[in-house]
Structure 1
């Protein structure tokens, strides 16, 4: 008999890899007895991840010709987790203890049947004795009625139990929020949705209240952490709000939603991608076969309950344009930005509800597939992160901007950096950071284009310009959402003006000036005149 001690606190993927490594090192035909699986749900705060573990392990052992015993605690798990487990296993048995007696009742016996097989049995003197008396059967089963029958409340998983307790604390007397119980719940929620990195948790403890975490929980599709980008956005808001009350009136209210990182693993499992990815890992070549996995991700299907939640999110946004952004667990963490390595997808969000839902799901698939892009894998390899668990959470945001005719875009957008590597003047402090600004959507600021220019702003000296020669270095093209075409497009500035309503055109003209040299050069190149 060999005992293997593993700890689920290491994370879903490392734990699962360790279990499968132990199985693969054992000759086929072995017998396995697993510890109570309910502890996995407690460690991962998710019944879905417990279910994923079972779905990846039980069939694998069956295919090897092994025998395995798994245990679950009754009434501790949601039906969404228990039903797939029941459908997958070959035999399921309910176990009851009444005082000093133990009773067993087979619930499922695949390909097996006898007249007494599904009766309640008493385990006595090393044997199983079927109980045929209705009175005795009722006396054993009556104290444990079936859940979710009649007016019974379906069992909640660890995730929902924790959020429900947080809701009770917040809704209760103010003094209850200062109790030890409230702090324990807050700490648990921080690990569930924010991070398991102690440096990030230290920041989150300072700036996230129990109410903040409860608000995040109300906006999560599925379960799991919301990822680095989402955490960074929320932390930035919280830090600014705590610094000065003035920020409350300056910051645009966010009404973002989050797709929990657990759904990414569930999607890979249910669409047959997890095993393909593991084979690449075992062979030590992550890039080989990655394109095939990406194609499968792009054509996969989502769990029904996740699709229902996606539909409710679309109901909330209506036909406002949205963007689906990557927010992986490692992204924007300490030391690793992953800038430009994962996709973000705009959804113009126009047309019938079914069309908008399909576009939304397609955007999610695209971001999921980017987790296995050559750029992302090369970045992870460069920083020694290939063996680190990388789950893809998503940030779903309303696009900031204004509708102008059939076009949608903001007046100004950009990207900020905490360090300025472009020190073109002695007055510039690199530590002050910089902004890269554009007119229209910020895509042209994030993804720099060789055929155009952005405005660079040194934050400690914003009036200094890096270029010489005036307006010839000004932005010439603008990224916008075309609501009629239902897509992101780039327009020359003059073409943009030709498609705007007169009311918006008048506003633009107030900022325009004349640059004879730039116009002359533009005519020579047969290019549109640049904006100021």
Structure 2
């Protein structure tokens, strides 16, 4: 039989409990199972008369599940293991297919036999007999009273396993952990058992945090109590709390004195101990984790009204730096690691990358992974890199290390293996080609970088099988991207997307995040409705909990045809397109495009973000960037989750006026555009230019080869000490070759200036990719990055550049097929001067006249 048992409440768990299921409830206290049985009997008795109770418990009422609705069969455990199993199996032989059996709590057998191993084997043998008769059974165990071997033995025998726990507000909650023969991860949502003993699913991550047992109730708290005495000293009348706080900050928060001082100022001893208790292993929790925690604490202290009403709670766990050390030593990789740190050698990095992916997690780490599995269960999580050097004042490593979305599935062993693979992938990313190039470019040789990991619940809400935040984005406390003179750079900027935040930080081809200057939120960099449609986010990323993968959806895919309130937070109706469709095809087709007009006009989200960023900037005494999500209940009830906060290097708008061309210069290029750093003047002696008309003829593979050629020229100008301008149409760094040359930052990092030219008729919009990881690299390297539009009114490019002799064959011998695409021009005797003027938004290239 595989029919679903009819009924409501707990019977609806995991897509519906089935005839023939063997369900084990893992409780945390005695009363939990009794409440579950009362709820089940309330539903089962409506449609079944043949309900049986195998009774062997003889203790206090809390564990009793007696009911007149069940036929009792008494078994005496005092007669020993063999009698218990044989007598129970004999009774099962008398039952018929479809009967339902409740057994007393398995943990109570320990009082009779003095062993939980035998209890586990007894259940295993009894279930085998029930399977022969196709009987349905329910049983419980108090998990914390059983050894891991017994828990595993019982879990293997059961077809459905459900954790029963009390949440932080006292409610009993159900968390499915195993369901044989079911394939939807939505089944593993947490459920709340209400006062009427019916159940309802938890629908968002905020409520999910209330469900899980807080970390200070974990079984290893005695260990931390002893550690506190040894490490911090007895909290007697002479106890120095400030000294203890500083000591904890120094071992957890990194080596930067500025960060340690901030942590000491904002955290108390209790809060630091709580962070440590959420840490597997010990040691540093890394720059990304530290930045996030400090930012949240600054907001809590400075804006309690925003924090209490609009801040999403955080329940992150951390994999401490000592786990990284343990992992490397356990797998014999320590010498390889030290050799790489000293040299930043690419060959050593490649070997380490492969070895780490094939290595094993140490047993002591695997044992502690149970905390993560118990805590997050089958909820969508993300594991994020948090290395010692990441997100620091000196370096960001933005986008160089891995982050991994995941929904843990299967039994405990499978979930442990999933977590291990994720952690290894993040460790290996330290030695990826882009991370190594970053270390070499910024000369970080000799400085050890130790990897820690943040494990977070994905911020979001459920919409059927899909899970995603309504909004995600990147916020800048200082806006270096000025497309209009009315924009105040001090007010900040937000780069906003719907769905997961990947599209806000990656240079995604064909997708455009909404760029919002916080003092002029209604302004678009590209005015006009047609441009708003064309240069908007095309699709949003969501976690598909059924297939356990991240997928892209159009807004229309989420429109279920009802008056769905959440749609207004991620998209807008395009009524003009709807009228055109109705006129051409008839009907009432809805047309959606991703827009955040409702959020801007009807909520205070941007105001809240602006206040938070400016406050954090003032505390840091440095411009900052945050990554965040926003989820809505309604216009007034929204939750902001700060996922990341880092100090950023910004090119602030210059105050001085840069003079135009002198009498000894003439103009070779002029355009209006946007750029970083305000008014500037740079002398250039080299230009790398990509001819768009020739580039677009290339195949996709050849276009990628074009990026490699630019990489070679990039190395050449660095070697020779040239001051080079990279110039061309399209979006530099785009992952879609049709939109621009797909260069990595390491292929342009020696350029002094980069100009990207947009052309509306050719389907190219100029965009600085503000807030993406590619953009971060540009800012850190202090490259002058300029974005202009080719139009008849303000654009002029003379043939002084484009008709000059192409010297690329002096650099590359085999350039067949590319000599008309990539141009390499030198101006050694009469150099160029690049001028950007913030007062006019003009960009001009001048060249010295012949004497």
What is the TM-score when the length of structure 2 is the normalising length? 0.40
Aligned match for 1:306, one of 354, 361, 365: 365
Name the residue aligned to 1:198.
257
Pair 1:516 & 2:576 matched: yes
- Preserved contact between residue 519 and residue 530 of structure 1 (Cα < 8 Å): no
How far does the alpha carbon of each residue in 1:220-259 deviate from its partner, in whole angstroms, 9 at most, with x for none? Answer: 0001110111111110011111113212332111000011
Alpha-carbon distance in structure 2 between the residues aligned to 1:519 and 1:277: 63
Q: 1:313 to 1:519 in 2, by over 3 A?
A: farther
Secondary structure of the structure 2 residue equivalent to 1:456: strand
Secondary structure of the structure 2 residue equivalent to 1:371: helix
Name the residue aligned to 2:295.
236
Aligned match for 1:249, one of 309, 312, 315: 309
- Preserved contact between residue 472 and residue 518 of structure 1 (Cα < 8 Å): no
- Preserved contact between residue 348 and residue 488 of structure 1 (Cα < 8 Å): no
Secondary structure of the structure 1 residue equivalent to 2:572: coil
Query: 1:391-410 maps to which residues of 2 (within 5 A)?
Result: 391-410=450-469
Q: Note the C-alpha offset of 1:166.
A: 5.3
Q: Note the C-alpha offset of 1:505.
A: 4.8
Alpha-carbon distance in structure 2 between the residues aligned to 1:519 and 1:300: 59
Q: Note the C-alpha offset of 1:406.
A: 1.2
Name the residue aligned to 1:480.
542
Name the residue aligned to 2:484.
425
Q: Note the C-alpha offset of 1:471.
A: 2.2
Q: Note the C-alpha offset of 1:276.
A: 2.2
Q: Note the C-alpha offset of 1:263.
A: 1.0
Alpha-carbon distance in structure 2 between the residues aligned to 1:458 and 1:520: 33
Secondary structure of the structure 1 residue equivalent to 2:543: strand
Aligned match for 2:334, one of 274, 288, 299: 274
Q: Note the C-alpha offset of 1:191.
A: 0.9
Q: 1:509 to 1:437 in 2, by over 3 A?
A: closer
Query: 1:116-127 maps to which residues of 2 (within 5 A)?
Result: none
- Preserved contact between residue 572 and residue 592 of structure 2 (Cα < 8 Å): no
Secondary structure of the structure 2 residue equivalent to 1:336: coil
Q: 1:293 to 1:504 in 2, by over 3 A?
A: farther
Secondary structure of the structure 2 residue equivalent to 1:475: coil
Q: 1:167 to 1:503 in 2, by over 3 A?
A: farther
Name the residue aligned to 2:510.
451
Alpha-carbon distance in structure 2 between the residues aligned to 1:505 and 1:352: 36
How many aligned positions are there? 362
Aligned match for 2:284, one of 215, 225, 242: 225
Name the residue aligned to 1:210.
269
Name the residue aligned to 1:530.
593
Q: 1:424 to 1:312 in 2, by over 3 A?
A: same
Q: Note the C-alpha offset of 1:280.
A: 4.1
Secondary structure of the structure 2 residue equivalent to 1:396: strand
Pair 1:339 & 2:398 matched: yes
Alpha-carbon distance in structure 2 between the residues aligned to 1:506 and 1:447: 29
Name the residue aligned to 1:327.
386
- Preserved contact between residue 377 and residue 386 of structure 1 (Cα < 8 Å): no
How far does the alpha carbon of each residue in 1:110-136 deviate from its partner, in whole angstroms, 9 at most, with x for none? Answer: xxxxxxxxxxxxxxxxxxxxxxxxxxx
Q: 1:335 to 1:403 in 2, by over 3 A?
A: same
- Preserved contact between residue 404 and residue 501 of structure 1 (Cα < 8 Å): no
Name the residue aligned to 2:227.
161
How far does the alpha carbon of each residue in 1:151-179 deviate from its partner, in whole angstroms, 9 at most, with x for none? Answer: xxx9x99996247665964xx8xxx5xx5
What is the TM-score when the length of structure 1 is the normalising length? 0.63
Alpha-carbon distance in structure 2 between the residues aligned to 1:320 and 1:251: 20
Name the residue aligned to 2:413.
354
- Preserved contact between residue 344 and residue 445 of structure 2 (Cα < 8 Å): no
Larger gyration radius, structure 1 or structure 2:
2
- Preserved contact between residue 341 and residue 376 of structure 1 (Cα < 8 Å): yes
Name the residue aligned to 1:471.
533
- Preserved contact between residue 542 and residue 552 of structure 2 (Cα < 8 Å): yes
- Preserved contact between residue 452 and residue 476 of structure 1 (Cα < 8 Å): yes
Alpha-carbon distance in structure 1 between the residues aligned to 2:276 and 2:233: 10
Q: 1:281 to 1:399 in 2, by over 3 A?
A: closer
Alpha-carbon distance in structure 1 between the residues aligned to 2:353 and 2:403: 16
Alpha-carbon distance in structure 2 between the residues aligned to 1:167 and 1:473: 60
Q: 1:226 to 1:504 in 2, by over 3 A?
A: farther
Alpha-carbon distance in structure 1 between the residues aligned to 2:563 and 2:447: 50
How far does the alpha carbon of each residue in 1:390-444 deviate from its partner, in whole angstroms, 9 at most, with x for none? Answer: 0001111110001111111111111222332320111222233321111101111
Q: 1:292 to 1:504 in 2, by over 3 A?
A: farther
How far does the alpha carbon of each residue in 1:315-343 deviate from its partner, in whole angstroms, 9 at most, with x for none? Answer: 11121111000110111111211111111
Alpha-carbon distance in structure 2 between the residues aligned to 1:163 and 1:243: 33
Q: Note the C-alpha offset of 1:202.
A: 1.4
Alpha-carbon distance in structure 1 between the residues aligned to 2:346 and 2:579: 49
Name the residue aligned to 1:9.
none
- Preserved contact between residue 162 and residue 189 of structure 1 (Cα < 8 Å): no
- Preserved contact between residue 348 and residue 482 of structure 1 (Cα < 8 Å): no
Alpha-carbon distance in structure 2 between the residues aligned to 1:206 and 1:504: 48
- Preserved contact between residue 166 and residue 185 of structure 1 (Cα < 8 Å): yes
Moved more, 252-261 or 420-429: 420-429
Name the residue aligned to 2:446.
387
Q: 1:208 to 1:289 in 2, by over 3 A?
A: same
Name the residue aligned to 2:377.
318
Alpha-carbon distance in structure 1 between the residues aligned to 2:474 and 2:417: 30
Q: 1:301 to 1:418 in 2, by over 3 A?
A: same
How far does the alpha carbon of each residue in 1:52-89 deviate from its partner, in whole angstroms, 9 at most, with x for none? Answer: xxxxxxxxxxxxxxxxxxxxxxxxxxxxxxxxxxxxxx
Q: Note the C-alpha offset of 1:493.
A: 3.2
Q: 1:274 to 1:350 in 2, by over 3 A?
A: same
Q: 1:477 to 1:288 in 2, by over 3 A?
A: same
